[in-house]
Structure 1
Amino acid sequence: MAEVNKSYVQSETDVEMYSVGDKIKGVPKAYGYEEALDLTGHGRYNIGLLLACFMLITAMGIDIFGLGIIVTAATCDLSLTLQQIGVLSSMPFAGIIVMSYPWGYLSDTRGRKLVLMWAMCGSFVSALLSSLAPTWQALAALRFIGSALSSAAESATYALLGECCNSRVRARYMLLMTSALMLTPTIYYIWGYLIMKLNFSIPFLGIVFRPWRLLTLVMALPLGLGALLLHFYCESPKFLVNVGRKEEALLNLKKMYVKNGGAGPEYPVQDVYLEEGNKEDVGVFSLRSLWTQIAPLFKPPLLWRTLLLYYLTFVTYIANNSFAIILPTIFNVFFTSYATSDADAGFCDLFADANTASAETNQTVTVVEECRNTINDNTIWAGCAHGFSFFLLNALISQCAGKRKMLMIVILVVAAAAAVGIDNTGEPISGLVLFYVYLTTAMVFGVISSYFVDLFPTSYRGMVACLGMMVARLSAFAGTNVVGRAMTTQCSAALYGAAGLVLSGAIAAALLPTGDLQTTLT
């Protein structure tokens, strides 16, 4: 036993040898990664990393979903037609669809933190430049680039945070991260309200600098701030172990231990291994490694969970984002029509009335309305209430992270019931309340993301999450076009269809495993 080899463990037999061997002077005990992570404790490092990742997700949400306010405010200045507004509004989805696969691959091969730093800094620069765009084509191109870069935060932050927090708090932190997306509408609606109340025109570099350009600058700041905060934290030790960089992983684990209040020399881990095994060739950039990253996701034993989670992703994002993207328009139509509607009008009747009025209204009047460079106050307050209330609700739900499967089923069933009731209450306000309840499908996003972290090996975690985001945005892109037309002519049918889809998601959620990676792969 005195000659116990210090090569790192790959099997249970090796672990047993080390457990005995650590009694011999000079031979370290090998710790599984989860055990080594638990020994770092939970404290300032984990909370600080949560805040940094929270900022990154918030920045991404503002960059992508806040574009609607920018486009509305820039309509007059850039002489936008309705068709051009549609093209501009679709740019974030196009950017995400194009870059989801590359970000997943790079996150799993080059590192979570590295990808996030480069992506968020690039998105920050692109967002700044978009405030100086002289034409709508330049604005569209820069927003496409910016959203393509910032979309890296959607999966890489979850992977980084999940791999740096112990199992006791991991699921709760994943749900808290989703709270960041819930908070973003409140932030950019308030900024839009305050900034668009200003009135100035400053000639600058061949353009006229107006309030919407200042709003674009302000909305870019969280991207830079998020990258700055992340600079003070380490690369995921689990990723480093997985690609064979164990010395760096051990150093990062010790840094985490110290920041959490421990004394460096007291950290006992001198050797660490991954319970599911590691793949040291995964960090090598090649076409073979590119195929290696994606092929196992669609083969047993990962195939079933891949399809199940992707279907859940498809359902929740098409059901929620299809309505959420045009939420300002829905609010505007609702409040405008409600003031002149009949007493017995239902929720969908308001949209039918608005469609009729729009067809009878001169095109010039519509253009004048769009060129006032202001944002409707009712839309602002409704958007703020939506974002802030969902942020608080998601924070409360995160306390029930231990029952996430049941939580997801309950949310989807309640949302499906709400969708059925929206146009059957007999009056608009209660329909609007049920519409808010239906939008709680957004609470499921974080639960699905936590399953991506728990049910897949480290080597494929970033890839499966990024491909999931591609599924999400493709479904949202398609759903937005369908819902945008259906709300005025087939509102009831759209809501009933959404209810059926969400209910099928609840059935799919019931098929999810109850354990984590260690219990479901063995």
Structure 2
Amino acid sequence: MAPSKNSYNISKRKDDIEMTTAKLSKLQYSYEEALEITGHGKYNYGLLLTCFVLIIAMGIDIFGLGIIVTASTCDLDLTLSQIGILSSMSFAGIIVMSYPWGYLSDTRGRKLVLMWAMCGSFISSAISSLSPTWQVLAALRFISSALSSAAESATYALIGECCGTRVRAKYMLLITSALMITPTLYYITAYLIMKLDFTIYLLGIVYRPWRLLTLIMALPLGLAALMLSFFSESPKFLANVGRNEDAVKVLKRMYVANGHDGDSFPVKQIYLEDGNKEDVGVFSLQSLWTQIAPLFKPPLLGRTALLYYLTFVTYIANNSFAIILPTIFNIFFTSYATSAADASFCDLFHLSNTTTVEVKQDPSECKNTIEDNTIWAGCAHGMSFFVLNALISQCAGKRKPLTIIILVIAAIAGVGIDNTGEAISGLVLFYIFLTTAMVFGVISSYFVDLYPTSYRGMIACLGMMVARLSAFTGTNILSGAMTDHCSVALYSGAGIVLSGAVAAFFLPSDSSIPS
């Protein structure tokens, strides 16, 4: 019996519905699928370069303060205690603003936060070159570092959410290598500028080379903001706050920028594997609590405690020395020239403590020069760490074993610094001890991989608060301990680093982390 016309129409209608459903299903992709479709090309490389400059600008603004303080010591008639206060202003600014930047990054957007922060930091840093007193300089550098510190979390979130899983960890480590090269950049800049000899009376201040150096070191902040203006907000952030149409438009822009025809872009709708959180952009006390509370409750509590402890270990062992590194180098090379051949690393600091006498200079006679050996040592530190971090980034798929190996080697070096019986070999081991900086990028990449989109900015910014509190405390302890209790300081640092290596065993393997 032949089928009726009515049954034929019903069957055809079912086929049409199935075809329509199939077409619609092909237009909706998960975020990671959509990101992979955009490809990898000019947009990604350009954003990587921009984020590279962002981190360099932040690094110069925060850690370059040490070289500015060294260069301005005579002109501002600084005492040792005032030098300590000035040097710690960078960390103080970060501590105050870590939580706000985390909240704003997760609720207002990665790019928006970075644009405002870098522009504000540029203005404050540039004005600080005209500071009439050390108190004004301290206040302006506090503001500058508080603003530029936004780059340390929002930058990693931005690049991590705009690159596919294939290159994400590698890019995280490459960006960290930007932080390693900053000492070379500001040491070389200082070397060139401080060789100048001029005195200009301007607006009631004496304008000398260190002020020009301060202004030049502020320029990367403005450049970073300018470069960032050519890129879009993180599409994953947009999707997370319910702006799916805008997210698709950004993904399409990336698709076209990477060399594809926009008309062939298949993605019309996207969804997030960890779910959208559309109320995250609403400012309220409830929103603040929503952002932070889950980080300290199961199932995130364990990984938060582990990553924050590793953050504490690496930053107290590294940044505590990094901010006063110009002073350490100056003391080392000055004492080495007059010491016995068998003097150890710590002997030189004890020698400086017993022979140094504070001499007041007439500000009108200040030359504000920096020792050449300090410049070359700083450049060697920056370049070697940059190359090493770039090489390590090629092994981005083995983050856990890399972390353990780096921390174990650094701990061994820390124990050996003052036990070689000779100063130069102790200095080499001191360099190796500072390789704990190689772990910074690894920790930052875990902040992106192990947390939902809504909490990434917050977890990273709170992590920076932990980091800078550690560094702030360590810097103030070390400034006195390196002369009187050098060996104890180094052994304590080595012990802390070794405990970090033990903690790193509890990190998840890369193969177990979902993409």
TM-score clears 0.5: yes
Structure 1 CA distance for aligned equivalents of residues 22 and 433 of structure 2: 62
**Code of the aligned partner of 1:460:** Y
Stretch deviating more after TM superposition (51-60 or 326-335): 326-335
Stretch deviating more after TM superposition (116-125 or 476-485): 476-485
**Code of the aligned partner of 1:174:** M
Q: For the Cα contact (< 8 Å) 2:110–2:233, is it kept in 1?
A: yes
In 2 relative to 1, CA 414–518 (structure 1 residues): closer, same or farther, beyond 3 Å? closer
Match of 2:6 in 1: none
Stretch deviating more after TM superposition (390-399 or 204-213): 204-213
Q: For the Cα contact (< 8 Å) 1:59–1:226, is it kept in 2?
A: yes
Instruction: Say if 2:331 is the partner of 1:336.
Output: no
Match of 1:299 in 2: 297
> Cα offset for 1:27?
6.0
Match of 1:398 in 2: 393
Q: Which of the numbers 367, 379, 398 marks the counterpart of 1:384?
A: 379
What's the secondary structure of 1:424's corresponding residue?
Answer: coil
What's the secondary structure of 1:168's corresponding residue?
Answer: coil
**Code of the aligned partner of 2:429:** L
Match of 2:111 in 1: 113
Q: Which of the numbers 315, 318, 321 marks the counterpart of 2:319?
A: 321
Q: For the Cα contact (< 8 Å) 1:454–1:516, is it kept in 2?
A: no
> Cα offset for 1:20?
7.1
Instruction: Say if 2:408 is the partner of 1:410.
Output: no
Structure 2 CA distance for aligned equivalents of residues 353 and 74 of structure 1: 25
Match of 1:505 in 2: 500
Stretch deviating more after TM superposition (340-349 or 379-388): 340-349
In 2 relative to 1, CA 20–325 (structure 1 residues): closer, same or farther, beyond 3 Å? farther
Structure 2 CA distance for aligned equivalents of residues 365 and 148 of structure 1: 32
Match of 2:145 in 1: 147
Structure 2 CA distance for aligned equivalents of residues 292 and 254 of structure 1: 31
CA deviation vs aligned residue, 1:393-443 (integer Å, no higher than 9, x gap): 100110000001110100000000111111111111111111111110000
> Cα offset for 1:492?
1.2
> Cα offset for 1:82?
2.3
Q: For the Cα contact (< 8 Å) 1:276–1:518, is it kept in 2?
A: no
In 2 relative to 1, CA 292–332 (structure 1 residues): closer, same or farther, beyond 3 Å? same
Match of 1:69 in 2: 67
**Code of the aligned partner of 1:422:** I
Match of 2:467 in 1: 472
CA deviation vs aligned residue, 1:316-368 (integer Å, no higher than 9, x gap): 0001111111111111111111122222221111111121112xx4x327899
Structure 2 CA distance for aligned equivalents of residues 109 and 517 of structure 1: 29
Match of 1:133 in 2: 131
Stretch deviating more after TM superposition (379-388 or 88-97): 88-97
> Cα offset for 1:451?
0.2
Q: For the Cα contact (< 8 Å) 1:455–1:516, is it kept in 2?
A: no
**Code of the aligned partner of 2:397:** G
Structure 2 CA distance for aligned equivalents of residues 459 and 22 of structure 1: 34
**Code of the aligned partner of 1:158:** Y
TM-score after normalising by structure 1: 0.93
What's the secondary structure of 1:208's corresponding residue?
Answer: strand
1:222-371 map, 5 Å: 222-358=220-356, 361=357, 363-364=358-359, 371=366
Structure 1 CA distance for aligned equivalents of residues 66 and 41 of structure 2: 38
In 2 relative to 1, CA 342–107 (structure 1 residues): closer, same or farther, beyond 3 Å? same
- C-alpha RMSD of matched pairs (Å): 1.8
> Cα offset for 1:200?
1.0
Extract structure 1 runs of 4+ deviating beyond 3 A: 19-29, 365-368, 515-520
Instruction: Say if 2:441 is the partner of 1:443.
Output: no
Identical columns (%): 76
Match of 1:3 in 2: none
TM-score after normalising by structure 2: 0.94
Q: For the Cα contact (< 8 Å) 1:454–1:517, is it kept in 2?
A: no
**Code of the aligned partner of 2:421:** G
Match of 2:215 in 1: 217
What's the secondary structure of 1:99's corresponding residue?
Answer: helix
Q: For the Cα contact (< 8 Å) 2:97–2:146, is it kept in 1?
A: yes
**Code of the aligned partner of 1:118:** W
Q: For the Cα contact (< 8 Å) 2:400–2:510, is it kept in 1?
A: no
In 2 relative to 1, CA 42–350 (structure 1 residues): closer, same or farther, beyond 3 Å? same
Structure 2 CA distance for aligned equivalents of residues 484 and 500 of structure 1: 19
What's the secondary structure of 2:417's corresponding residue?
Answer: helix
Q: Which of the numbers 468, 477, 482 marks the counterpart of 1:482?
A: 477
Q: For the Cα contact (< 8 Å) 1:347–1:423, is it kept in 2?
A: yes
What's the secondary structure of 1:91's corresponding residue?
Answer: helix
Structure 2 CA distance for aligned equivalents of residues 216 and 20 of structure 1: 67
CA deviation vs aligned residue, 1:288-333 (integer Å, no higher than 9, x gap): 1011000000000000000000000000000111111111111111
**Code of the aligned partner of 1:176:** L
Structure 1 CA distance for aligned equivalents of residues 464 and 342 of structure 2: 42
> Cα offset for 1:242?
0.4
**Code of the aligned partner of 1:270:** K
Match of 2:97 in 1: 99
CA deviation vs aligned residue, 1:178-226 (integer Å, no higher than 9, x gap): 1111010001111111111111111222222211111111001000000
In 2 relative to 1, CA 167–22 (structure 1 residues): closer, same or farther, beyond 3 Å? farther
Name structure 2 gaps, 5 residues minimum.
Answer: 1-16
Structure 2 CA distance for aligned equivalents of residues 81 and 20 of structure 1: 80
What's the secondary structure of 2:201's corresponding residue?
Answer: strand
Structure 1 CA distance for aligned equivalents of residues 481 and 133 of structure 2: 31
Instruction: Say if 2:433 is the partner of 1:433.
Output: no
In 2 relative to 1, CA 21–471 (structure 1 residues): closer, same or farther, beyond 3 Å? farther
Q: For the Cα contact (< 8 Å) 1:21–1:29, is it kept in 2?
A: no
Q: For the Cα contact (< 8 Å) 1:111–1:239, is it kept in 2?
A: yes
Q: Which of the numbers 449, 457, 468 marks the counterpart of 1:454?
A: 449
> Cα offset for 1:100?
0.3
Q: Which of the numbers 190, 193, 205 marks the counterpart of 2:191?
A: 193
What's the secondary structure of 2:355's corresponding residue?
Answer: helix
Structure 2 CA distance for aligned equivalents of residues 25 and 382 of structure 1: 63
Q: For the Cα contact (< 8 Å) 2:70–2:326, is it kept in 1?
A: no
> Cα offset for 1:127?
0.9
